[in-house]
A and B are shown apart, each in its own frame.
Chain A
Amino acid sequence: MAAGRLTARSDADLIQASKRGDLSAFEEIYAAHAGRMKSIAFHLLADRADAEDAVQEAFLKIYRAAGGIQSDTVLAPWIYRILLNCCYDTGRKRRRQAESPLEADPPAIPANVPLQVAIRHALGRIHPQYRMVFWLFEVEGFRHSEVAAILEIPEGTSKKWLFEAKRELKRLLTESRA
């Protein structure tokens, strides 16, 4: 599944139209990406309101930055990079505002729960970089080339981190179900 693949108008057309202040073109970009962006933001922030705020902030930044984007830029990785930065900013802000600066340890993986629930819990216990690659590839359906472009890492690293993520998850799930 290709991220941000649009049928009506190409990414370049939409960005060019958005540069000219065409909000309907920008709405097409929103329609193509907002769902997946909310999901990623929720995965990182674990709060719907925060996720929506991060997506809104990302779209405002995308619109403002559209004027400077090259016409041959692949839109999707650029959009998701901006989203990730917005999420990290929101996360940092939230940590500053929190009474306790220390993050609580992720909860243990509960026994006797459906495997999908166990995977969700186990994901909270693995390395954030591995988790991010697993999320983008396995959950959101990006290809390794797209994951690599979004996270600005080599494609080989994306593959390696995915393998490490799954190995860690397998270990945690096996332990919890033993």
Chain B
Amino acid sequence: MTFDCKDLERALAIPELLPEAREHAKVCDACRRELWLWSEMSTLAPGLREQWETPELWPRIRETLAAQQKADKRQARVSRRNWYMLAGVAAVMLIAVSVLLVTYSRQGAAPASQDSDLLTEQALREVEKSEAAYRASIDKLARLAETRLKSSENPGAVTAREKLLVLDSEISNVRATVSHNRFNAQLQAELALLYRDKQDTLKEILQSAQ
């Protein structure tokens, strides 16, 4: 290929063609000047770099960054403190709710237990009044059955007599216990059962005698 002045532009774009361009430049002043200019631009360009001392620039940046770090740390501390406060409030609320729940559950359970085991003064008076009336009617029934029991010698009457003795003994024991613990509903109920048992036994004696 014969290198021509028109090929110079292409040679500058394609480095492989540069040796041919240089050969041509040896005999062509215009191309020599252009080639020289082309390479001088690269040679002189680093000299265009602007350099100057700025000893205050880094301290200025560091100061701003340090202030920013302090502000960030303060913000983090405030956030952490807020979080701790929130956690504290939550813990206090949890404890308060737990205490309330326990208190309410105890308050809810206590009256039921007291109602079942212990009697109030008014209820006791009613129970005692009923018991007295019940006992009087049973005594009346016992007096009626007594003549029948004494005159009869059949095995059923003997068994009934022995059962009544046991029941009377039991009634007397429970009544003695009740006298020390008048508000105990369980003892009152037990006493009532014994009276009922005695009443049923007396009824059976009277019915068998008819």
Q: Measuring CB to CB, which residues of chain A are less than 8 angstroms from any residue of chain B?
A: 21, 23, 26-27, 30, 34-35, 38-39, 42-43, 48, 51-52, 55-56, 59-60, 63-64, 115-116, 119-120, 123, 134-135, 138-141, 163, 166-167, 169-170, 173-174
Contact = CB atoms under 8 A, between A and B. Distances in A.
Main secondary structure of the interface of B (DSSP, over half): helix
B58 A119 contact: no
A81 B206 CA distance: 118
A111 B112 CA distance: 114
Interface stretch (B32-40, B86-94, B99-107, B196-204): B32-40
A115 B41 CA distance: 8
B48 A27 contact: no
Contact of B51 (A30, A39, A120): A39
B15 to A, nearest CB: 11
Contact of B50 (A26, A30, A43): A43
A35 B66 CA distance: 22
B46 A60 contact: no
B171 interface: no
Contacts of A63: 65, 68
**Best-surrounded residue of B9, B12, B13, B49 (most CB of chain A within 10 A):** B49
**Best-surrounded residue of A51, A138, A167, A173 (most CB of chain B within 10 A):** A138
B51 A169 contact: no
Contacts of A163: 12-13
Contacts of B19: none
A27 B9 CA distance: 46
Contacts of B41: 119, 138, 166, 169-170, 173
B113 interface: no
Given A138-B45, A174-B34, A38 B65 contact: no
A54 to B, nearest CB: 11
B62 interface: yes
A26 B59 CA distance: 12
A115 B53 CA distance: 26
Nearest to A48: B52
Contacts of B60: 56
B37 A170 contact: yes
B1 interface: no
A26 B65 CA distance: 10
B69 interface: yes
A39 B47 CA distance: 11
14 contacts: A30-B58, A30-B61, A48-B50, A115-B44, A116-B44, A119-B48, A138-B45, A138-B46, A139-B45, A139-B48, A170-B34, A170-B38, A170-B41, A173-B41
A111 to B, nearest CB: 15
